Chain A
Amino acid sequence: MSPIDATERSNDRSLAASCAVLGAAVGVFGIAFGVGSVAAGGSVAMTCVMSLLVFTGASQFSAVSVIASGGSTAAALAGASLLAARNGVYGLAMSRTLRGSLLKRIIAAQITIDESTAMSTAQEEPQAARVAFWWTGLSVYVFWNAGTLIGALAGNAIDPKKFVLDAAFPAGFEARVLPHLRHRSGRRAAAIGAVICAVTIPFMPAGVPILCASVGVLVGVKKP
């Protein structure tokens, strides 16, 4: 092994380690999802299958949150699908980095999410970008699903309101919205979305205000 190879390998190893740490942190959020989903009336099996198959945090939280506030399945699906659409954009961004067999790309698609795309696009070298994508995606997959199982089992045993998990939910959303507020268009979309939602809550069936808020996107997208 040449010295250059050795340096590259050790760089890859430390990159992989930091991606795995990120995955573990997301696992904590998985526990919150598991508790919330069971509290919204989901069984442990439903909750775990959702994390295994849907595997995109914001959509899952959105669906459960709409159901928990009394919304219909259709309203829950609509909001969650809008949020899932951005994974398609991540896929486009990653398609230049992730080459290889069709089977490999079909597997990669399932772990094309916020975290894996962010870690991968932050790398300068193509090899590091691939390492970051796979390590982040797979470690988030493992920890998110382990967290979901723990949360779902715990949620069956406790009363979420007693343990103030009903406030943990919106608090968790806040941390997710912040990165989107760095640009003016993002702040505008968020402000209009929040106002539309608050104004329509008293008049609309549960969950529908979330969909009305998507009008905020059209206002935000106009050039400043």
Chain B
Amino acid sequence: MCISWCAGGGEETMTWTLVLVLSAIAYTCKVTGLVIIGGRELPEVVDRCLNLIPAALVSALIVNSTIGGDDGIVVDARAVGVAAAIIVATKRAPLVVVIVTGAAVTAVVRAVGLAP
């Protein structure tokens, strides 16, 4: 496991291991909060850390899926599409509009041959 971790290699595709282990982890998190810990309080700092995880990780996921490539950083049509989607999202547009804008702008940039 360490070898595939360090090299980032190994099975670089979806596996049943991923699906089933993640299922178990996700349900454990849900059931721990609702049923096992129940009405007790968590230390405030733990609570705030857990609440900040989506902000840090989701913004990293945006960066990763926008400029990440097989060989380091790749700037292509995706970056233009994502920039357009960010503008629409900050105007509080519905989710569907944000996704369609991102995809449509990327398609136009690719179609006119400005970027791959």
A residues with CB within 8 A of B? 25, 28-29, 32, 37, 40-43, 46-47, 49-50, 53-56, 58-77, 79-96, 98, 102, 105-106, 108-110, 112, 163-178, 180-181, 185-187, 189-194, 196-198, 201-202, 204-210, 212-218, 220-221
Contact = CB atoms under 8 A, between A and B. Distances in A.
A53 B27 contact: yes
Given A86-B50, A174-B82, A69 B35 contact: no
A98 B34 contact: yes
User: Helix, strand, loop or mixed for chain B's interface?
Assistant: helix
Contact of A189 (B30, B55, B65): B55
B8 A177 contact: no
B22 A59 contact: yes
Contact of A170 (B26, B30, B102): B102
B25 A169 contact: no
Contact of B61 (A46, A61, A73, A175): A61
Given A55-B26, A91-B30, A91-B35, 19 more contacts: A32-B99, A41-B14, A50-B22, A65-B65, A69-B64, A73-B18, A80-B22, A81-B29, A85-B50, A91-B32, A167-B103, A171-B102, A173-B58, A180-B54, A189-B52, A190-B55, A190-B58, A216-B56, A218-B49
A37 to B, nearest CB: 7
Interface in B20-58: 20-23, 25-27, 29-35, 37-42, 45, 47-58
Contact of B15 (A73, A213, A220): A73
A171 B33 contact: no
Nearest to B12: A70
Nearest to A41: B13
A105 B26 contact: no
Contact of B4 (A62, A72, A85): A72
Given A72-B10, A83-B53, A190-B55, A91 B60 contact: no
Interface in B67-116: 67-70, 72-73, 77-78, 81-82, 85-86, 89-90, 94-96, 98-107, 110
Contacts of A67: 12-14, 18
B19 to A, nearest CB: 5
Contacts of A62: 57-58, 61
Given A87-B29, A174-B98, A185-B48, A213 B22 contact: no
Contacts of B104: 164
Contacts of B86: 174
Given A69-B64, A214-B53, A84 B18 contact: no
B27 A76 contact: no
B32 A202 contact: no
Contacts of A60: 22
A180 B51 CA distance: 9
A91 B37 CA distance: 9
A87 B50 CA distance: 9
B68 A193 contact: no
